[in-house]
Chains A and B, each alone.
Chain A
Amino acid sequence: MRWKPLLAALGTAALLAAIPLLQRALGFSVYYLVFLYFIFFWVAQATSWNLFSGYAGMFSFGQVAFLGTGVYTVAILIMRYGWSLPAALPVAAALAGLLAFTVGWIVFRLRSLRGELFSLFTLVVGIGGGYVANSTPWIDGGQGIALTRVGYPALFESMTEYLYYLGLGTAVLAVSVAAAIQYSRLGRGLFAIHDDERVAEGLGVPTFRYKLTAFTINGLLAGLSGGIHAVQMNYVAVDSVFTLHFSLYAILMSVLGGTRHWMGPILGALVIHSLSDRLASAGFSELQQVITGSTLVIIILFMRDGIYGRLRDRLQPTLVLMAVTALVQWLALRPVDGLTLLTITVFVALAMLLLPPAVYDRVAAAWRPRFSSGSGMGSAL
């Protein structure tokens, strides 16, 4: 078990928990809280997707079905039956988990639905969920549901703050679960299934049980996160909830970050969301989607393992570069919007990570002859 990344993540979570308090004290824009909420949301979505599809290697395109179940459960329970949010959330999670369990039970029993056929089936479930919601008046019927008058505890200063903490909590939960699985027996079994399911089974891995377990957890977490998101969305409609793009972004973020590690989806969510937020606010939403699509293509072609591995190898130089970039922006471009600064910094770091190993090694060697003692070029002499 690698402690350092885990401690870093927990430390970061503690810092993040303090930010709303800072906002209250210093009075900077509330938009930062909203931005971070969305990061938490995507971290939860991508992580929940990854702990089954990434670890086991069976790409589900049905993430949106779990999200949508969570969203609509909360919307219906709150608006039609007068439940409170804390009461509705566990139900949302449970229903989404039940959906995952049912679909998984059917699909994993059949050996014939491997690989791309599994992806296709989950795609159908995702699209079908939308059609069902649209045609069932009791669920949506094409009307949409407006979430008005949702209360928040007096402890928090605003709904934004409340959602912030709910989102943070869910993200921390999802990441903890993903990390726990990664280093557990379940995780080892999933990785074996990823590489060769038949051989894994022959070695004693209970493949059906493991796949079903991970897939159900995927549903539970995605449903929980979706339930919270319903309140954020404020107005819930089939067209905005059951879009293919939710599924796609969860996949993209995990693949970009790296599917074999719990850190991957976090990195991917950070990169993709900061870009899409900045471009969308600037009015360039089509350009943003073009860049998102291009990123997916580039990653699949050149870096199928994602950026996590490279980040670990190039950690110090990357952190230094990020600090320098942030500093340069702060000095040269004052006043600068914090989020834009963050996004540009993230992108410079990404560019560093995208450098092919051959190029990077040459650049690193040029920078470092003074620092290498017994390794590299020094020892050749």
Chain B
Amino acid sequence: MNQHDVILECRHVGKHFGGLQALHDVSLTLRRGEILGLVGPNGSGKTTLINVISGYLPCDQGQVLFEGRVISGMEPHKIAAAGISRTYQIPHPFRGMTVLENVMVAAQFGHAHGRPRDLAAYAMQWLDFVGLGAFAHRPVGSLNLHQLKFLEMARALAARPKVLMLDEVLAGLNPGEMEEGVALVARIRDTGTTIVMVEHIMRAVTSLADRVVVLDQGKYLAEGPPAEVLRRPEVVKAYLGSDYHA
């Protein structure tokens, strides 16, 4: 593997909450421009890993490196400014603002190349990109779940991240909305953003991800091309007893 390709790296990352070891010796690499699927049964530590990488939680052991620099231990807003964005499993829009204003916050504080001079117009571009342009001046409360998830993505994108981490962005969507979501993620990758996708919906993972890393009970289990990895006996066994969508 060419070292220049690695944009994000976790080295022996560990995290515990009281007695519970949420992450144990997790190491993985993320290559520039790829879509990496992060999968595993419920409770395997996927969201915890996202929280650690984004800086919201400090890691107890190990390190996270971004473009060769150690970022574990940095304040979350500095990590965001460096070029890492994330969405949330349950959307967390800013409820006191309009849809457009939500995106403007991200544009103003994110990693955007230079400070965009017309903030509103710039933010509008990203709303159009995800298809929410018509809702720009509506209050956030008037959006449904699918729209809120897309707003999360628009917001994360307006910060112009180098790495975008999507946390179960397709969960709770009906099949039609899910098709739109998958297409959108592909479009995001085409703009040059590297993506980490935490997902339970295997169909989406197999169609989008270049590689997949499997976590189980906080430990690294396997990695490789999605179709192949998801058929491995130890991976199937980890999922046995919990539902997954084929």
Q: Which residues of A contact B (CB under 8 A)?
A: 185, 188-189, 191-192, 194-196, 198-208, 260
Contact = CB atoms under 8 A, between A and B. Distances in A.
A203 B56 contact: no
Contact of B96 (A194, A202, A203): A194
B158 to A, nearest CB: 9
B151 to A, nearest CB: 12
A196 B109 contact: no
A150 B80 CA distance: 54
Contact of A188 (B56, B93, B95, B108): B108
A203 B92 contact: no
24 contacts: A188-B104, A188-B108, A189-B105, A191-B94, A192-B97, A194-B96, A195-B94, A196-B95, A198-B92, A199-B92, A199-B94, A200-B105, A200-B109, A202-B54, A202-B77, A202-B85, A203-B77, A204-B81, A204-B106, A204-B109, A204-B111, A204-B159, A205-B77, A205-B109
B104 A203 contact: no
Nearest to A192: B105
B105 A205 contact: yes
B200 interface: no
B46 interface: no
Interface of B: 54-56, 75-77, 80-81, 85-86, 88, 92-97, 104-106, 108-111, 155, 159
Nearest to A305: B96
A322 B56 CA distance: 52
Nearest to B94: A195
Contacts of B80: 201-204
A124 B96 CA distance: 30
Nearest to A259: B96
B105 A188 contact: yes
Contact of A204 (B77, B93, B95): B77
A189 B155 CA distance: 14
A195 B141 CA distance: 13
Given A188-B108, A202-B86, A205-B105, 8 more contacts: A195-B93, A196-B95, A200-B109, A201-B75, A203-B105, A203-B106, A204-B80, A205-B109
Contacts of B94: 191-192, 195-196, 199-200
Nearest to B86: A202
